[in-house]
Structure formats: C-alpha cells, structure tokens
Copies of this chain bind each other. A is one copy, B any other.
Amino acid sequence: MASEATAIPGHAAGVTKAEAVPPTRPGVIAAAVYQNGQRLRDIEIDEAGQWRGRENVVIWIGLHEPDEALLRQVQAEFDLHDLAIEDAGKAHQRPKLEIYGDAIFVVARTAHMAGDEILFGETHLFVGRGYIISVRHGASTSYMAVRQRCESSPAALAHGENYILYSILDFIVDNYMPVVEAIHAEVEELEDKLLRDRLAKADIERLYLLRRNLLRLRNAVVPLVDVCRRHEHLELPGMDAAMQPLFRDVTDHVRRVQEDIDALREVLAFTFEASLMIGQSEQTEISRKLASWAAILAVPTAIAGIYGMNFEDMPELRFRYGYFVVLAVIIGLCVTLYRFFRRARWL
C-alpha cells in the first residue's frame, strides 16, 4: 500500500504511517488518509484536495472549534457549501441532515457525564464521496476512540466514509446512555426520598433541574431519530445498502434512548403529582393535630380562667375539695377529648 502512496505527486516516496507527523495546527485534532481500510498517512489540511476522488481512498479530518480561516480552507479543499460552512462555524444548530448536491451535512448534539455534571456539545459532519470531516463544538468527547476502533477493523473501515459516519453516530448515541442512566439513578433516589421521607426544598430544586436536563437531552435526541432513519432508509446520495443494518441499529438505539427519556419525564410528572398529594395529606394531618391539641388545651384555660375570676360570691371556691374536683374535671375532660381525637384518627 505504501507503494501506492509514493505515487502521489509532491510527496516523498516511502513515507510510512509510523513517520507521519501528528497535525499540530490549532483546531485540527487529526487528519489522515485511509485506503482500503488502512491508514495511509497523516496529512495537512492543504494537502487534502490532492487525495480527493481516488479509488478506495477516504480522507478523515477531525476539527475542534476551528477558526474562520481553517473552515474556509477546508471548504476550499472539499468544495463545501457556503451555508453549511457558516453553520459549522457557530454552535447552536438544530440536529439535522442536509443534502448539498452529492454531499451531506449532519448536525448532532452530544452529551456526556463529567463527574456529576452533564456536558452538552455539538458535532457537525461533512460527508461526501471519499471524505468525512467532523467539527466539534463545546464540551464534547474527542472522536479519537472512534478512529482507533475503526482502524482496528480495516475490513469494515474499507466501506469508506459511510462506515465512519455510522461509527461516529453510534459513538454519539452510546454516549447518551450513561447520561440517561445518571439521571435515572437520581430520579430513583428522589423517588425513594419522596416515598420514605419528604422532599426538602433542595430536593425540589434537584427535581426541577432534572426536568430541565431531560428536556435538553430530549431536544438533542429526538431530531436525531429522523437523521438516523433517513440513513437507514437509504435516502441519501452514495449510501451503501450494506450499511443499512448498521444505521438501523443506530436508529434503534437512539429510539431506545428517546423512550427512556420519555419514561423518565413521565415518572418525574408522577413524582410531582405524588409530592402534591403527600404534601396535601401532610398538611391536613398537621391541621388535624393542631386543631385537636388546641381543643384539648382550651379546656384548662377556660375552666381555670373562670375560677380565676375575682367575684366575691363564688361558692365553689369555698368548697372543701373544690380545687381538687376542678383539677380532676380538667384532667378528665382532657383525657376524654384526647381519646376522642385518637378514635377519629386526628391524633
């Protein structure tokens, strides 16, 4: 294969993979040429155009938050559409798939866990005959792992840019899973707290933030279902029928993620409703207790108040055991009331 590489004009013969220098230009993470699934050599961006259109050759470039100049250079090398380049220059695109002539432009939102936090990012992909360019924005994981996995199965990689596209989409969707699981774990914790104990204000805040994160994740995932489905249904230029089961598999995974998200959203809605019900039932219980004790304690207050009056002629005050009788009456009434409220399950 190295003999083929030597045939490229302007490149010293015998440059082998091991000698290739990693691209050091800022914004370029990796840029390599593959032939029949084997990495031929690393390239500079400005060499890319020379490699285009060769049989069984695919150019795979990975960029991270490239500057305007770099993007324009890439555009020039691959004849990319102006609007797609403009989109790729800024984040905050909707996940989508757009066809420009015989090239496609894919936008996907990524999500992964960094410790306790969910980090959202965005990846833009330019895919055309013989090349694939990924542009990452924000806190997304590098696709180096995808590259390594692809390089380790040259037979698959020989399918070209569509296999790489599949691998990246698969990687993105796989990365959603731990995020969903982390949210799932937190939901279960809150659920447990709700049912065993009660939700404090901090828990309500967590609940609130979970709902927001799920919403954001859902907005990332749902449009991706359509992107994957269009690949699966071979609606795109240059799509290889042998790729269909692979893209169907991704579609299926992303649907599974969506189903999990929707289930979690519904569970959080149940949690809200259960929390309202429990809160209301607690409130009623407290009111009942408050009313019961108020009634019980009103007895000594009222009776003692009466015998605390200073009338000159209050015969009971002079009764021999008046005080003790009154004490007994007070205690008797209190006990009776207490029992009454217990029976009524107010206490």
Contact = CB atoms under 8 A, between A and B. Distances in A.
Interface of A: 81, 83, 87, 92-94, 96, 98, 100, 191, 195, 198-201, 204-205, 207-208, 211-212, 215-216, 219, 245-246, 248-249, 252, 255-256, 259, 263, 266-267, 270-284, 286-291, 293-295, 297-298, 300-302, 304-314, 316-323, 326-327, 330
B280 A276 contact: yes
For chain A, what secondary structure do more than half of its interface residues adopt (helix, strand, loop), or is it mixed?
helix
Nearest to A314: B323
Given A212-B270, A277-B275, A282-B284, A309 B308 contact: yes
A297 to B, nearest CB: 4
A207 B274 contact: yes
Contacts of A286: 284, 287-288, 291
B313 A310 contact: no
B311 A98 contact: no
A266 B276 CA distance: 18
Contact of A309 (B266, B278, B291, B307): B307
Contacts of A312: 317-318, 322
B201 A278 contact: yes
Contact of A100 (B93, B245, B252, B316): B245
